Structure 1
Amino acid sequence: MWVETSKTKSEFRNYITKKRNELSLTEKSEKDNAIYEAIINSGLFIKAKMIFIYISFGNEVDTHKIIEKALSLGKEVCVPKVISRLKGMRALKINSLNNLKVSDYGVLEPEDNSEEVFVKDMNLAIIPGLVFDLKGGRIGYGGGFYDRFFSNTNIDITKIALAYQFQILEELPLEDHDVSINNIITENGFNKVK
């Protein structure tokens, strides 16, 4: 486990991105399936009526199957839509993965006319990231969209990260504005954050 806290966020991002890109399709599929089973069988997911979840792309933990499962169970699902670097992002409700379009950032997003959902109406937030620690630390992709989105509210919502076990390091260099997470689900199950 790589634990040098003198490293910069950028160095942590590069290290984990490289490791994630080295996963074979078979390894990724096996890990994704284990994470899927852990999340959909969790009490947090089962009880949630409105779930905020990112739409995975590239080598991220697959969320498409989780979204489809939530919708098939009659849960409400909202996903991020980036407005701009300055204005941040909003959460928009979706009814299917079929009506999404590729954004300027290369990720699938809903149309602008989709219904907006506010943090106060969410029961569970499943958020992306590159690197995590068991103190609730998270390093994302560097845009600060999720930090700003969740720090703009006083609502305390359970935030879960989906990650591969190697994405959890001992300690991360974090800043005051970094939003912390409550749980990390990996192929090994729940990793409770202290």
Structure 2
Amino acid sequence: MRDHFRQVRMKLIETERHERTRRIERAAFAWLAAHLREQAREPGRDRIVAGLYAPMPGEVDLLGFAARLRDEGVAIAFPRILPGRQMVFCLVDRYESMLPGPYGILAPTDEHPVLPKQAISAIFVPGLAFTRAGVRLGYGGGYYDRYFAGIGEPPWRIGVCYEDQVANELPESPHDVRMHWLLTDGGMVRCQTRV
């Protein structure tokens, strides 16, 4: 199943990928304006923080979106892998300050401050496929599931993929954590996450 969805997303030609990514960015920005501005007014929350990811080949590339968020005063965080198959999100001022991590993906270094989970307003999560109910097919490492285990909202969990990667059904284990929202080039939809 993972191989199938890898092939699906790699079949997109570059011009189509670019246009569909722009649609995803517009939908994300509209959602951010509607939902997170309200969150920023909560007592004790002095800024909006968005968790993003450095894209692997074929993944939706939100780095242009990250630059736009910074222009709007939103703080950006990226994941960093730790020993013991754990993951944290670190505050990153400049994308260029990150270095290749364990999987060759750009990641924050020890110099980037680690953020508490509840300090992040929303985390945009990559995946090979998602369902509209919020089930995610990842790469098998379980990093995001472990990161999200035992925490509520915030942060909002937002699955990001192209519309072709939305499946009717996907296998799901008891430890899998569902997304709150699904973001594709078809727009942003609220998932029916289980309690």
Give the alignment's TM-score, normalised by structure 2: 0.87
Where does 1:35-74 land on structure 2 (aligned, <5 Å)? 35-42=24-31, 43-44=34-35, 46-47=37-38, 49-74=48-73
User: For 1:66-108, what per-residue CA distance to the aligned partner results, in whole angstroms no more than 9, with x for missing partners?
Assistant: 1111111111111100113x24111110011111111230111
- Name 1:101's counterpart in structure 2: 99
Secondary structure in structure 1 of the residue aligned to 2:96: coil
Paired AA for residue 101 in structure 2 = S
Structure 2 portions without partners, runs of 5+:
41-47
- Give distance in 2, aligned partners of 1:46 and 1:22: 37
Paired AA for residue 164 in structure 2 = F
Structure 1 portions without partners, runs of 5+:
1-11
Secondary structure in structure 1 of the residue aligned to 2:19: helix
- Give distance in 1, aligned partners of 2:96 and 2:2: 31
| Structure showing greater relative contact order (alpha-carbon pairs closer than 8 Å, 6 or more residues apart) | 1
Paired AA for residue 124 in structure 2 = I
How many residue pairs match? The answer is 182
- Relative to structure 1, the CA distance from residue 96 to residue 46 in structure 2 (aligned partners, 3 Å threshold; closer, same or farther) is farther
Q: Note if contact 1:40-1:46 (Cα within 8 Å) is conserved in structure 2.
A: no
Paired AA for residue 69 in structure 2 = A
Find 2:22's aligned residue among 33, 38, 41. 33
- Name 2:12's counterpart in structure 1: 23
Paired AA for residue 127 in structure 1 = V
Kindly, what percent of the aligned residue pairs are identical? 26
- Give distance in 2, aligned partners of 1:73 and 1:148: 31
- Give distance in 1, aligned partners of 2:111 and 2:118: 20
Find 1:176's aligned residue among 174, 182, 186. 174
- Name 1:122's counterpart in structure 2: 120
CA-atom RMSD, angstroms?
1.6
- Give distance in 2, aligned partners of 1:44 and 1:60: 25
